[in-house]
Amino acid sequence: MDIRIGYGFDSHAFKAGAPLKIGGLSIDHPEGLAGHSDGDVLLHAITDALLGAVSAGDIGTFFPPGDPRWRDADSTIFLNLAMEEIRNAGFRIVNLDTTLILNAPRIGPVAGAMRESVADLLGIAPGNVGIKAKTPEGLNIDHVAQAHAVVLLERTEEEGDLQTMTAMMESQRQLEDVVRDLVSQVHGVEVKKSPFDTDDIT
């Protein structure tokens, strides 16, 4: 089984008057998260986890913070690029787990909707998305939201099927070799190889 694990972390400060978006979900709150983009701390952590799992760098590699194109950008742009990177590398998401650390707003009441939103953006079932939240006890960081994300990837079936087919063809070829050896031992003559050489098919 070909699997990968990825981990991502992000943090943003709260800013009065800005709209609050976490996990692609708009949340009614007097403060939003300050950032060059829409400040979606959870989507940024997930994006980094996906990119890290396939050794494709991090969000800053693709979207430098100073680039005016990404000013107030919807963070689903970053997430979609990371999804494309893992697809190109031949992987898909098995599941992910996340933890948010923030004092307010309370995530519990919106956790279900947030899980649906993230699952929808990633194209996986909500049952494969973990959304957890904690308050920053003893950390003295009242006006900051932090997010941690871990993701598990597996090699896509197409690739796995191809590997199985290759292995089957290889074992059939070995079997043919054994039979050919046995026949030549019995008859004392070498049996010619089949004109259909399967070597080229893979």
Calculate the alpha carbon distances from 124 to 11, 93, 94, 175 in Å. Answer: 25, 8, 8, 42
44 touches Zn ion by CB under 5 A: yes
10 touches Zn ion by CB under 5 A: yes
With CB under 5 A as the rule, give the number of residues binding Zn ion.
2
State in angstroms the smallest separation of the CB of 149 from Zn ion.
Answer: 12
Assign residue 72 a region (left: φ > 0; alpha: ψ between -120 and 50; beta: otherwise): left
Q: State the Cα–Cα distance between residues 22 and 10, nearest whole angstrom.
A: 12
Segment 130-159, which members bind Zn ion (CB under 5 A)? none
The residue (of 44 and 148) whose beta carbon lies closer to Zn ion is 44
Among 6-14, 49-57, 107-115, 170-178, the segment contacting Zn ion (CB under 5 A): 6-14
Among 40-48, 61-69, 92-100, 108-116, the segment contacting Zn ion (CB under 5 A): 40-48
Assign residue 84 a region (left: φ > 0; alpha: ψ between -120 and 50; beta: otherwise): alpha
Among 37-45, 46-54, 95-103, 144-152, the segment contacting Zn ion (CB under 5 A): 37-45
Segment 158-197, which members bind Zn ion (CB under 5 A)? none
CB neighbourhood size of 14 (10 A): 20
3-state secondary structure of 193: coil
Are 87 and 79 spatial neighbours (Cβ–Cβ below 8 Å)?
A: no
The residue (of 8 and 93) whose beta carbon lies closer to Zn ion is 8
User: Contact positions toward Zn ion, by CB under 5 A?
Assistant: 10, 44
